[in-house]
């Protein structure tokens, strides 16, 4: 599923001069109204296809998310960009991809939406294991679902260990489906 291989950049609204909370904010969805994303800690997700760092309005619900951003950036609140990659690929390449996505999103906010650069904080978070677990929970009903969720929720395992454990379930067939 392409949804499971997508990764995201989350733009989080902060109170004036305060950094956004460390806990992930609720995800924006199509039902979210502009008024709901104007409070501190609200977030808007921009999705990226696997391996891509540039903002693509035509991908997923990105044009909707950008419309929400256009409406809320006018209030001059600080923004935090948290950038992620999918766990597919090497951790080093994924860290670089997440960093590049964050920078592309910053450039987009400055160039296209006129957000002053000094209002933007960037956090590159690397591989999004929690996001993958959430997508599996919501969208994956294939082989080894329960085992996959158990592995992905195991906080004692590193990213490479999680990847190896899921790949070992059935010779990599489940990992390929994800």
Q: Within 21-172, where are the H helices?
A: 62-72, 91-113, 129-139, 145-152, 159-168
pTM check: above 0.75: no
C-alpha–C-alpha distance, residues 107 and 114, integer Å? 10
Instruction: Note down pLDDT in tens along the chain; length 178 residues.
Output: 444 444 566 777 665 444 444 333 333 333 334 454 555 667 888 888 888 889 999 988 899 989 888 888 887 888 889 888 888 888 899 899 999 999 999 999 999 999 999 999 888 888 889 888 988 999 999 889 999 999 999 999 999 999 999 999 999 899 888 8
**Positive or negative, the Cα torsion across 140, 144, 149, 152?**
negative
pLDDT given for residue 39 in this prediction = 57
């Amino acid at each position: 599923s392409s949804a499971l291989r997508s990764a995201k950049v989350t733009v989080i609204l902060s109170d004036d001069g305060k950094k956004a909370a460390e806990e992930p904010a609720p995800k924006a969805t199509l039902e979210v109204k502009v008024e709901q994303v104007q409070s501190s800690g609200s977030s808007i997700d921009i999705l990226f296809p696997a391996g891509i760092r540039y903002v693509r309005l035509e991908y997923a619900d990105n044009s909707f998310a950008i419309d929400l951003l256009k409406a809320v950036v006018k209030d001059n609140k600080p923004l935090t960009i948290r950038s992620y990659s999918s766990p597919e690929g090497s951790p080093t390449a994924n860290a670089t991809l997440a960093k590049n996505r964050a920078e592309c999103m910053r450039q987009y906010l400055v160039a296209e939406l006129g957000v002053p650069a000094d209002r933007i904080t960037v956090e590159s978070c690397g591989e999004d294991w929690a996001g993958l677990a959430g997508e599996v929970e919501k969208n994956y009903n294939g082989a080894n679902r329960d085992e996959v969720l158990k592995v992905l929720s195991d906080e004692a395992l590193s990213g490479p260990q999680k990847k190896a454990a899921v790949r070992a379930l059935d010779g990599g067939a489940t990992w390929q489906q994800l």
